[in-house]
Amino acid sequence: MSPNDRTNAWERYVAAKQRAFAEEESAAAEEPRTLEELEEAIAKAAEFSGIPETGMPPRSTVHPSSSGSWSRWFYRALVAIFFCLVAGLIWWGNQNHGGTPGNS
């Protein structure tokens, strides 16, 4: 804008708003209206951005399950409990039955 331009700030503001609204209306007119047009627009946008057409990766890839580590600890706890039970039974047997064979 030149300094000789007689438009005031308000008129320039109104003109800028009108241009912005005209651009939004033209963009809205170009939006797809049917499902097929929407799918085509999504495919074009995905192709342009480099995303594969399958879309998002599987949830199992993004959020891996921790059930493997939990099951490993569960089985380790079961084995430890089993060994404690066997050791306790052997100790109990030695305490109550003298620990030597034939002393019944």
Same domain, 52 and 73: no
- The residues, ordered by sequence, that sit 6+ positions from 41 with a Cβ below 8 Å of its Cβ are 31, 32
pLDDT of residue 84: 97
Same domain, 91 and 43: no
Domain range enclosing 45: 1-56
**How many C-beta atoms lie closer than 10 Å to residue 14's C-beta?**
11
72 versus 58: the higher-pLDDT residue is 72
Q: Is residue 20 part of a domain?
A: yes
pLDDT of residue 8: 73
Structure-block tokens of residue 27:
């963009």
47 versus 75: the higher-pLDDT residue is 75
pLDDT of residue 32: 56
Q: Is residue 62 part of a domain?
A: no
Structure confidence by residue, pLDDT tens digits, 14-69: 777 777 777 656 655 666 567 777 777 777 776 666 656 566 667 777 777 877 78
Q: Is residue 63 part of a domain?
A: no
